[in-house]
Amino acid sequence: MRTPFAQRLGIDHPLIQAPMSGSTTPELVAAVSNAGGLGSLGAGYLSPQAILEQAARTRALTAQPYAINLFVTADEFTADAGQVTRIRERLDALMVKEGLDVRTSLPERWAFPFSEQLAALREARPPVASFAFDLLTPKQLSALKRLDIYVIGTATTVAEAKAWADLGADAVSLQAAEAGGHRGTFMHAAEDALIGLFALLPLAARAVDIPLIAAGSIMDGRAMLAAEILGAAASQLGTAFLACPESSAAAAWKRDLQTVREDQVTTIRSFSGKAARGLRNRYVQAMPNRPEDLPPYPVLNALTSPLRRAAAAAGRGDLLSEWCGQAASLVRPMPAAELVAVLMREYSQARAGLDRMA
């Protein structure tokens, strides 16, 4: 069934593959788009040149609509030198203890400037652009609209959803408490914005009149339909696609997803300095997690990068940022196109079951 939202975007299914920065590839994005969903390229960590290269690769693999996602951040960052020194000592000691032959270093830059990434996105001109961590400025939004780019904001509360709607966004992705990865919260403390999907959806539907996208550990077609009944125009799935062969998630991470207990998923700051949802593993247990003890994002994210790369190479999932949603163990390792087909078959069967009960 092609919903009005899907028709507007030129896709077949009300299904979006979440833009998981560091784990999505052009191959994954294209596979989902070719299967009728909306593939999303997570570009928050990419240089402007890499954004253009990956966009070109995606377009070479699919003629269907796709999205590029960016993190709305400042162009420049300052870091507390003492805080950086202390966390580097802590990280280096952990790597020594765990037998990893790598140490932290001060990078040339903490992150790529958002304004330059946004300029690259405009040059790539994807049909859809999505954003997290903060609002765009009215000028930035207008520039995207002039290029006929469909803009999706990320919200974790009703107030944030209204802020995006008032700005003029075309749709809002509602990131519920169950969702994996970095929290998109920008108007509240992260802990105050952990609202369950089945509460957040109807509350936001009452408050805004633009399409809402449900995001929060949706792992099968039944959950997609449930979200639609509560007001969602589409569902955005991230963890469900992490174990696909087209995903660039580390092999150890893909393996660990299949055995995650729901009580092991927690809010973590110690990898990046920003609240994110993922698996409470050995690294998380060994590192401080209070904001006051950690450099903020993206400073800490840059400092932990060598450790995460070394852990992935060594097959040490217990030292990785294993982002995942609450129902991660429902993951089904299979090619992305096959997963889209399974999800939509489940969605159709669930809808048919409701129709029989009516």
pLDDT in tens, 199-252: 999 999 999 999 999 999 999 999 999 999 999 999 999 999 999 999 999 999
Model confidence at 338: pLDDT above 80: yes
pLDDT tens column, 77-124? 999 999 999 999 999 999 999 999 999 999 999 999 999 999 999 999
The answer to whether the CB of 41 falls within 8 A of the CB of 259 is no
pLDDT-derived band at 356 (thresholds 50, 70, 90) equals: confident
Domains and CATH numbers, the chain: 4-73+111-247+332-357 (3.20.20.70), 79-110+261-323 (no CATH)
Q: What is the mean pLDDT of residues 130-152?
A: 98
pLDDT of residue 1: 62
Task: Report whether 257 contacts 333 (CB < 8 A).
Answer: no
> Contact at 8 Å (CB) between 178 and 208?
no
Q: What percent of the chain has pLDDT over 90?
A: 97
Q: Global pTM? A: 0.97
Predicted confidence at residue 260, as pLDDT, reads 95
pLDDT mean over 313-323: 97
**Cβ pair 126, 68 in contact under 8 A:** yes
270: left (phi over 0), alpha (psi -120 to 50) or beta: alpha
**Cα first-last separation, the chain:** 18
Tokens of 183: 């929290």
Q: What is the pLDDT averaged over residues 279-295?
A: 95
Residue 354, pLDDT > 90, answer no
Interacting residues of 335 by C-beta distance below 8 A, sequence separation 6+: 31, 244, 245, 246
Least confident interval from 224-228, 308-312, 353-357:
353-357
Supply the pLDDT for residue 355.
Answer: 83
Please report the pLDDT score of residue 103 as a whole number.
96
